[in-house]
Chains A and B, each alone.
Chain A
Amino acid sequence: MKRPLTHTNSIVRLILLPLFIYLIIENATAQANVTANDTILLWVTVAEVTMVDIQPDQLGWQNVPPGSETNKSQLAYPPGAPDAIQIENIGSTNITEIWFNTSYPSSLPFGMGDISLYDAGNFVVLRRNESGAEYFFVNRVEYNESEVIYLNVPSGYAHGRFRSANSEYFWAIDVSDGWCNDSDFRIGKNPHNQTELGTVDLTTCDAGAPGQILGLGGNECRQGTLDPTPDNQWGWADIYIGPNTDYENYTVAVYANCSQYVRVMFYHWNMDAPGVADGANHPEYFSTTPLYPGGRIIANIHLRVPYGTMAGNITGAMTVHAKSTY
């Protein structure tokens, strides 16, 4: 006799069946050795730090004759390295601007017979690692010199040279009142070297507006009045150096007190120099494309060693500056 399916029986069956199924599943799971997972969230706030690294941190050239520009074969340290430096953003912010400073002599080294007066930083020229890019001095500093008998400058003017390897451009500045931040500044268009006299008559020049020595007329020299900086410590002007058909853009800055000597800085890659903040147009940041953290750029580097540089070892330093705006 078949037992009738009571309601109680039905409930028991409904309970037991899942239990049975559960037991089966539990047994099967234990046999697969399943690991339990859980997840935690990690977070870090990286500090906003601008950091820059320049490598190699030491460069050495050997066997460089005076009146020449270095080439790769003369780069002795690091051995086998290209004549270039790499600038890397090792910080955490986007670097938006990069520029340089170089060391320079504190007085005229030429004709002194003391090699310690020279500074290799004053020889440094850089260019962007781009096709067709030109080399420029970061900031070359020159001082006035004693009489050059074949040079013709107006009365009351001191004179010197912009020395770029085997090219020397004579310049002259009015020092008659011992104060040079608003003086007339002149520079020859044609370089002087061992075989060419260059421009030596600075009496009649192409004139420019204040703060501009940019004449491209028919005279053999350019002239213009320096623009004083707001603190009156320097005078500056944008300047072309070279012939009308092949000139380089620099800005010249002259230290105001020229009663004892004249200190003249020709700069292109130095954005700390006098005149930059006052509207000089020729200085450039070496890079204005954002350099992301971990990113790097290359700068080609040469030295332009002037005539009259004493034989032996000369040292100097180049500093790269990085700026991040956020």
Chain B
Amino acid sequence: MKGRLWIGGLILVFGILVNSASAQLGGDLAVNDSDYALINVNVTTKTMVDVEPHSLTWIVEPGGVGDNSSEQEGPNYFAIQIENIGSHNITHVWLNATYPTDSPFAVGSAANTDAGNYVVISNDTSTNNPPASGFYFINRAEYNETRELVYLRDPAGNMPPDSSTYTYGRFRNNSREYFWFINAVAPRCNDSTYIRIGNEAHTRTSTGTTNFQTGGPGNWTEFSLTHYTCNGINWAVGNITSGPLASGTLGGYAVAVTNISDRCVVFFSKWNRDCPFDFPGTNAVYANEVAGRTPLVPGDSFALAIKVYVPYGIYEGPSNQGRIYIIVNDV
């Protein structure tokens, strides 16, 4: 019995000593432990893209250029940024712009306008106002002229042109306009075998190339067109490989001719790879490839400079709101 009491007393003494030592080490004795859980997540394959900013607005005079200085939303936005916000590598990025479904000129209102048809894009974002040589339309639509232009001479030498054989119009590049001729008429516009484009711009002060006569003195270049069918529509397609429409940093446009209603329309595309600009050997490009982002991996982005080229003869006030679509795929 005595032995038990003695042992108990010894333990009590040890207990006191331990507590005293703990207190001397710095107040509360904190004892810590930890455990962990492993976190696993399987992210689904999803292709998503985001383009910012969502809205841009310019105030521009006819024949003028809307750039960062006249952009209102930012203000002063000068580019759009395309970001892969999905989980999958994006192989191709291209653009598609809205365009008028009929000619916006000479209708006395802004009814047929579409701001998407004014948009030009460049991959040069080194400054807030990159040089004009890098800018190209996404897919500019140009309808043929319906009112006779008496100062033009057609490939057969007729002045004014023979509208039963040839169709003509303009490629409007802000204050510079380049006349073009195709050797077909609506509704068989896609039967054209070539497009002749003037090398000299028509401006307020210069007539430009107006003589498209074969063997004549006119300064024009002819580009071959071939038949191409996609999505059930017949087109005449080709590439502009020289001249002022091919003088930029990315080379020339791809062109595609068809008819809409009773009019011929010529599309000039650099950034749109949708039908019909997906024809073999097309001059249209994938934006991410031009930007050196192939593939565009999740979380990565690139920027494209943006401006608007507003032609002469556009009705005053707000043009109809346009859209540019960013389209992506993975291969």
A interface residues (Cβ-Cβ under 8 A, vs B): 45, 48-67, 70, 76-77, 85, 91, 93, 102, 109-113, 120-121, 123-124, 146-150, 152, 192, 194-197, 200, 303, 305, 307-326
Q: Contacts A77-B40, A111-B297 given; indicate if A325 touches B33 (C-beta within 8 A).
A: no
Cβ of B48 and Cβ of A307 under 8 Å apart? yes
In the bound assembly, the distance between CA atoms of A79 and B44 in angstroms comes to: 19
Cβ of B44 and Cβ of A65 under 8 Å apart? yes
In the bound assembly, the distance between CA atoms of A66 and B89 in angstroms comes to: 13
Q: Residue-by-residue, is B56-91 near A (CB-CB < 8 Å gives 1, otherwise 0)?
A: 000000000000000000100111110111111100
B20 at the interface (CB under 8 A from A): no
Chain A contacts for B299, CB-based, 8 A: 109-112, 307-310
Chain B contacts for A59, CB-based, 8 A: 37-40
Q: Contacts A65-B46, A310-B43 given; indicate if A149 touches B81 (C-beta within 8 A).
A: yes
Interface size on B, residues (CB 8 A): 46
Q: Contacts A85-B37, A120-B41, A319-B35 given; indicate if A311 touches B87 (C-beta within 8 A).
A: yes
CB closest chain-A residue, reference B38? A58
Chain A contacts for B85, CB-based, 8 A: 66-67, 194, 307-308
- Interface centre among B84, B87, B295, by most chain A C-beta atoms within 10 angstroms, is B87
26 of the cross-chain contacts (CB-CB < 8 Å) are A45-B11, A49-B33, A50-B33, A54-B37, A58-B40, A63-B44, A64-B43, A66-B85, A66-B298, A111-B84, A111-B298, A148-B301, A149-B303, A192-B52, A194-B48, A197-B53, A307-B299, A309-B87, A309-B298, A310-B88, A310-B298, A311-B43, A311-B88, A316-B39, A318-B37, A322-B32
Cβ of A91 and Cβ of B300 under 8 Å apart? no
Cβ of A312 and Cβ of B42 under 8 Å apart? yes
Chain A contacts for B300, CB-based, 8 A: 110-113, 308
In the bound assembly, the distance between CA atoms of A318 and B44 in angstroms comes to: 22
CB closest chain-B residue, reference A95? B33
In the bound assembly, the distance between CA atoms of A60 and B40 in angstroms comes to: 4
In the bound assembly, the distance between CA atoms of A197 and B50 in angstroms comes to: 10
CB distance from B214 to the nearest CB of A (A): 48
4 tightest A-B contacts by CB?
A110-B299, A308-B299, A111-B300, A113-B297
Cβ of A53 and Cβ of B35 under 8 Å apart? yes
B29 at the interface (CB under 8 A from A): yes
Chain B contacts for A51, CB-based, 8 A: 33
In the bound assembly, the distance between CA atoms of A76 and B39 in angstroms comes to: 12
Q: Which residues 292-322 of B sit at the A interface, judged by CB distance below 8 A?
A: 295, 297-301, 303
In the bound assembly, the distance between CA atoms of A148 and B79 in angstroms comes to: 10
B45 at the interface (CB under 8 A from A): yes
Chain A contacts for B206, CB-based, 8 A: none
In the bound assembly, the distance between CA atoms of A123 and B53 in angstroms comes to: 27
B34 at the interface (CB under 8 A from A): yes
Chain B contacts for A310, CB-based, 8 A: 43, 87-88, 297-299
Cβ of B29 and Cβ of A325 under 8 Å apart? yes
Cβ of B298 and Cβ of A110 under 8 Å apart? yes
CB distance from A130 to the nearest CB of B (A): 21
CB closest chain-B residue, reference A303? B41
Cβ of A48 and Cβ of B36 under 8 Å apart? no
B54 at the interface (CB under 8 A from A): yes
Cβ of A66 and Cβ of B37 under 8 Å apart? no
Q: Contacts A66-B86, A197-B53, A308-B84 given; indicate if A111 touches B40 (C-beta within 8 A).
A: no
B interface residues (Cβ-Cβ under 8 A, vs A): 11, 28-46, 48, 50, 52-54, 74, 77-81, 83-89, 125, 295, 297-301, 303
Known: A308-B87, A310-B298. 20 other contacts (CB 8 A): A45-B11, A59-B37, A63-B42, A64-B44, A65-B44, A111-B297, A112-B299, A120-B39, A150-B74, A152-B74, A307-B85, A311-B44, A311-B45, A311-B87, A315-B41, A317-B39, A320-B36, A322-B32, A324-B30, A324-B31
In the bound assembly, the distance between CA atoms of A54 and B34 in angstroms comes to: 9
CB distance from B94 to the nearest CB of A (A): 19
Cβ of B35 and Cβ of A320 under 8 Å apart? yes
Q: Contacts A93-B31, A110-B299, A111-B297 given; indicate if A315 touches B43 (C-beta within 8 A).
A: no
Cβ of A317 and Cβ of B36 under 8 Å apart? yes
Cβ of B50 and Cβ of A307 under 8 Å apart? yes
Cβ of B41 and Cβ of A60 under 8 Å apart? yes
Cβ of A303 and Cβ of B39 under 8 Å apart? yes
Chain A contacts for B83, CB-based, 8 A: 307-308
CB closest chain-A residue, reference B55? A197
CB distance from B294 to the nearest CB of A (A): 11
Contact of A315 among B39, B52, B297, B303 (CB under 8 A): B39
In the bound assembly, the distance between CA atoms of A85 and B11 in angstroms comes to: 40
CB distance from B198 to the nearest CB of A (A): 36
Cβ of A323 and Cβ of B48 under 8 Å apart? no
Chain A contacts for B29, CB-based, 8 A: 325-326
CB distance from A317 to the nearest CB of B (A): 5
CB closest chain-A residue, reference B47? A311
Cβ of A48 and Cβ of B31 under 8 Å apart? yes
Cβ of B32 and Cβ of A65 under 8 Å apart? no
Chain B contacts for A194, CB-based, 8 A: 48, 50, 85
Cβ of B301 and Cβ of A111 under 8 Å apart? yes
CB closest chain-A residue, reference B31? A50
Chain A contacts for B11, CB-based, 8 A: 45
CB distance from B4 to the nearest CB of A (A): 9
Q: Contacts A150-B77, A307-B85, A325-B28 given; indicate if A314 touches B41 (C-beta within 8 A).
A: yes
CB distance from A188 to the nearest CB of B (A): 13
CB distance from B134 to the nearest CB of A (A): 15
CB closest chain-A residue, reference B77? A150
Chain A contacts for B88, CB-based, 8 A: 310-311
